[in-house]
Amino acid sequence: MKKNAIFPILLLSILLFFSLNVFSKEVTSISPYISLQYFKYTDDQRVLQTTLTYSSNRMELPLPAMEISFFTGADKKELIGTLLTDNKGIARLELTDMMKVNADRDGKWVFRSEFKGNDTIEAGSSEITVKDVKLEMVLSVVDSIKTITVKASIMEKGKEKPVSGEAVKVYVPRMFSLLPISELTLNESGMATVDFPSDLPGDKEGNLTLIAKFEENETFGNVEKRETLLWGTPTDYSVPVTHRALWTKIAPKWMIYTLSVLLAGVWGHYLFALISLIRIRNDAKREAKKEYRI
């Protein structure tokens, strides 16, 4: 009897072992990647942006509809907002004057975003420290030479102090991306100058938008200054109604002719096959009648 009982016990043990392994794989939680960024725009609008993603099959995928909490302060954290991530896994919190954002002794702001996690996703947090900077862009034309002068300064102990040694990039927006114009390094006076190209196309009137910005700066985050002025070559991007191209409503003639020939060939084969089937059926009927008469 004991020998007969050993086999069922071993079988149950093996099944229990495999079931525990499968269960442990199913409850394995996702380890998310959380990043926090600071943005300051031309109108002094300040935004904290948190991105929550995870990696699956070597692809970075967003985590939408997840609650993100934003805090400020180094020693004592204060909650300043709670938002849900969008379809791209991004939560953006605008810093308004109503929010109390206190700087530390060095005049820096400490921000932190946290995700509490749930049954399937682990908790995560990200922290950044930024300093408020004033970025200016002076545009001038002397003897038909267009010049961009960038200035940057910070406030220390109630006095304005120039920012030196930092990189500022200058761009012009194009259709799909930003066109780099120059990368400047601020001197001891917190200034840098570059000549602007005179042959850059603008809109119908010649308007161009210039952008000077700090990008992912360790001290200032992402800060930009925009200016729009008549520095471009007037360009008319409108397409005549009679113009035929792949991106217009009316296709090119060569495409219409090619497609017509291809469709005619396809439907011609269908028609030939149908006629052949009808002829085969008629021939079969004639042969059947001949055999019947014989």
- The answer on 139 and 127 residing in a single domain is no
Question: Mean pLDDT for each 10-residue chunk of the chain (294 residues)?
Answer: 55 57 55 95 93 92 95 86 96 88 81 93 94 94 92 89 95 91 95 92 90 95 94 79 76 89 94 92 82 68
- The answer on 99 and 141 residing in a single domain is no
- Tokens (6 digits) for 171: 């761009």
pLDDT the model gives residue 17: 56
In whole angstroms, give the CA distance from residue 178 to residue 237.
Answer: 18
Is the residue at 188 inside a domain? yes
- The answer on 223 and 212 residing in a single domain is yes
Which residue range(s) make up the domain with 47? Answer: 33-131
**Residue 244 backbone dihedrals phi, psi, to 5 degrees:** -115, 125
Is the residue at 292 inside a domain? no
Is the residue at 144 inside a domain? yes
- The answer on 186 and 160 residing in a single domain is yes
In contact, 79 and 48? CB cutoff 8 Å: no
Is the residue at 18 inside a domain? no
- The answer on 124 and 145 residing in a single domain is no
Domains in the chain: how many in total? 2
- The answer on 188 and 122 residing in a single domain is no
- The answer on 153 and 86 residing in a single domain is no
pLDDT the model gives residue 28: 57
CB neighbours (10 Å) of residue 141?
13
In whole angstroms, give the CA distance from residue 163 to residue 155.
Answer: 10
> Which DSSP helix (H) or strand (E) runs through 162?
strand 159-162
Is the residue at 71 inside a domain? yes
- The answer on 168 and 121 residing in a single domain is no
- The answer on 127 and 37 residing in a single domain is yes
CATH of the domain at 213: 2.60.40.10
Is the residue at 155 inside a domain? yes
Angle 175-180-185 (CA atoms, 0-180°, nearest 5)?
155
DSSP class per residue in 39-105:
EE-TT--EEEEEEEEEEETTEEEE--S-EEEEEE-SSS-EEEEEEE--TTSEEEEEE-TTS-----T
In contact, 131 and 40? CB cutoff 8 Å: no
- Tokens (6 digits) for 190: 């917190």
pLDDT the model gives residue 24: 45
DSSP class per residue in 265-291:
HHHHHHHHHHHHHHHHHHHHHHHHHHH
- The answer on 213 and 138 residing in a single domain is yes
Closest by CA to 69, choosing from 126, 27, 30, is 126
- The answer on 178 and 114 residing in a single domain is no
Is the residue at 148 inside a domain? yes
CB neighbours (10 Å) of residue 41?
14
Which of 229, 249, 277 marks a domain boundary? 229
pLDDT the model gives residue 23: 43
CATH of the domain at 88: 2.60.40.1940
Closest by CA to 80, choosing from 57, 96, 61, is 96
Which of 131, 160, 187 marks a domain boundary? 131
- The answer on 221 and 157 residing in a single domain is yes
Is the residue at 61 inside a domain? yes
Which of 111, 131, 151 marks a domain boundary? 131
